[in-house]
Structure 1
Amino acid sequence: MNSPARHAVDHALSKVPELTLGFWIVKIAATTLGETGGDWVTMSLNLGYLVGTLIFLAAFVVLVAAQVRARQFHAYLYWATIVATTTLGTTLADFCDRSLGLGYPGGVAIIVVLLAASLAIWYRVGGTVSIESVATVRVEWFYWTTILFSQTLGTALGDWVAGDDRGGLGLGYEMGAAIFGAGLVVVGLLWLSRRVSRTALFWAAFVLTRPLGATLGDLLDKPLAQGGLEFSRFYASGILFAFMLACIMLIPQRAARRTSAV
């Protein structure tokens, strides 16, 4: 490739946002919304985990298809798709852990395998799993599949640590949030040190923000007897949605630059 063309490739825009502090604030809000929203559909509306999973699966497919068809990064479309992965991840993890009777350890083990397989296949096909490479149809489908599995794993991890049934560790929602928050602090320090792969740290942080959001969501809407604050799932979801929307409007959302690694 000649120099001008190569320069154009290296500086082309990705279809995912730049990794800033604002990105992670919106991400945590989206994951918490996914927990309360998923529980509202499956529990408050009594639709069950299977029906809830099918509903959010349909939304996920439609939004990913729209994201793939888009020619450039659109903040509202991107974050709507992220919310679809968080709600689907919530109901899918609950369906595996509870409806299928796998328990939290079993659900975590299966989803870890799925996430590892998604990353391995993506890397084998594309040579990188960096988010800056998300600019082609094939890579986008790998990206969103991996995002979905990471969200589902995060939900399962949060339930496993906080829950006291189905093989859970029974540490409670507050302790669970503290543990995953501490994990994010460690990832952040490693990010600043620049001694560990930024791509590996991104996926670690993406997984860890999900159980943090899940435990925060459970803390908001679970009954007092179970250690929660017993807020209405509907109103909690509405407040989180308004907060997330305000963040998207007020915090700059810029497309990431592609890397020459792609």
Structure 2
Amino acid sequence: MNTSTTHHALSKVPEITLGFWLIKIAATTLGETGGDALSMSLNLGYLVSTAIFAVVFLAAVSAQIRARAFRPALYWLTIVATTTVGTTLADFADRSLGIGYAGGSALLLALLLLSLAAWYRSMGTVSVDTVNSPKAELFYWVTIMFSQTLGTALGDWTADTIGLGYLGGMLVFVTLLAALAAAYYWTSISRTLLFWAAFILTRPLGAVVGDFLDKPLQSGGLALSRFSASAALVSFMVICILLLPQRAAARASH
């Protein structure tokens, strides 16, 4: 077996391509519509919905860590699990606990930075190219869960508290992501830093897109069914996973 094949077999996270980002944005949007479907449309509330999604999240992460190779369907199921639990957890903290969007965003940013710091201190790097051991995977998924929760609070803060609305929020985050893409191609800024910045910013983009799809017309949304929107997003993700190249990232050399 050649070195390249061995590296791919040892990695269980996908190669970072345009397809990865398309599926990631769809997954984060699904997290918003799916989370709201359970907490609002089914009227289960934020706390109960968070408990349900937390169980799914823990089961998915456990399966992902136990897997012996990269499995696209399992990986993206785990990403969706982080976005749904992130949605209801952020809403519970912001609304039910009364922390507010700004306070919730600040708290979650601190937790995210602590997670990255602990990961770096333990492993010496936070690059996704080195996610090839159970310990690194655990740090990876905890960090992602915090980033998804932060993204929900940040999206709501931008659209509601600042008053930019859903379209304004989308414009802000698309512009920021375009700036990161430009930095990737035309600067020597750390690729790891740019990856995590983009990964975090795709979540509030998905949050405002999801809210735009299912919120009432008088609130600036399209008033679509949360279940229909979620089903359409799942279908889009499945098509992308089947048609776009999905292979494991190459393991970093040491």
Q: 1:105 corresponds to which letter in structure 2? A: A
Partner of 2:202: 209
Which 5+ residue runs of structure 2 have no aligned equivalent?
A: none
Amino acid at match of 1:185: A
Distance of 1:205 and 1:76 partners within structure 2:
22
- Between the aligned partners of 2:8 and 2:64, the Cα distance in structure 1 is 21
Report whether the alignment pairs 1:15 with 2:1.
no
Q: Which runs of 4+ in 1 moved over 3 A?
A: 6-13
Residues 1:96 and 2:93 aligned together: yes
Distance 2:116 2:231 in 1: 33
Match for residue 187 of structure 1 among 156, 180, 184: 180
Quote the residue 2:152 is aligned against: 155
The aligned counterpart of 1:3 is none
Residues 188-211 of structure 1: per-residue CA shift (max 9 Å, x gap): 011112410000000000000000
User: Does the Cα contact within 8 Å between 1:30 and 1:86 map onto a contact in 2?
Assistant: yes
- C-alpha spacing 1:12/1:197, structure 2 compared with 1 (3 Å): farther
Deviation at 1:170, TM superposition (A): 1.1
- Tell me which amino acid in the other structure corresponds to 2:179: V
Tell me if 1:61 matches 2:58.
Answer: yes
Query: In the alignment, is residue 236 of structure 1 matched against residue 233 of structure 2?
Result: no
Show the 5 A alignment for 1:91-130. 91-130=88-127
Instruction: Return the offset for 1:14.
Output: 1.5
Alignment length, in residue pairs?
253
1:199 aligns with 2:196: no
Q: 1:52 aligns with which of 45, 49, 52?
A: 49
Question: Unmatched 5+ residue regions in structure 1?
Answer: 1-5
Residues 206-215 or 11-20, more deviating = 11-20
Tell me, in whole angstroms, the C-alpha distance in 1 between the residues paired with 2:149 and 2:249: 25
- 8 Å CA contact retained: 1:160, 1:169: yes
RMSD value, Cα: 1.6
Question: 2:69 maps to what in 1?
Answer: 72
User: Percent same amino acid among aligned pairs?
Assistant: 62
* C-alpha contact 1:18 1:255 (8 A) present in aligned 2: yes
* 1:13 and 1:256 in contact (8 A); partners too: no
Deviation at 1:102, TM superposition (A): 0.3
Partner Cα separation in structure 1 for residue 9 and residue 182 of structure 2: 29
- Which secondary structure does the structure 1 equivalent of 2:253 belong to? coil
Given the two structures, how large is their TM-score scaled by the length of structure 2?
0.97
Q: Decide whether aligned partners of structure 1 residues 8 and 21 sit closer, same or farther in structure 2, where only a CA change above 3 A counts.
A: closer
Mapped to 2, the partners of 1:85 and 1:51 lie a distance apart of: 16
1:174 aligns with 2:171: no
